[in-house]
Amino acid sequence: MLRHATSIDAAADAAEELVPVLEILPLQVLAAELSVRRGRDPDRPAGLSKVTMTQ
């Protein structure tokens, strides 16, 4: 199980341009945790193909 902080107070002291980046990080951790708890691999989502075809 992943262990992580439940809040980030760094956004209060950060430059205004960086606040959105700092606010999204806890949501990304939540999404990864939910994926693992559901028995899925967050690094290999279903329906995603990472194949690049060149000619």
Say if CB 27 and CB 6 are below 8 A apart: no
H or E, element range at 39: none
Higher pLDDT, 42 or 10: 42
pLDDT interval class at 7 (50, 70, 90): low
Q: Write down the pTM of the prediction.
A: 0.57
Which burial class, exposed, middle or buried, applies to 34 when counting CB atoms under 10 A from its CB (0-12, 13-18, 19+)? Answer: exposed
Query: Tens digits of per-residue pLDDT, 11-55?
Result: 667 788 888 888 898 889 999 999 999 999 988 888 887 777 787
User: Residue 46: its pLDDT value, please?
Assistant: 82
H or E, element range at 24: helix 19-37
Higher pLDDT, 9 or 2: 9
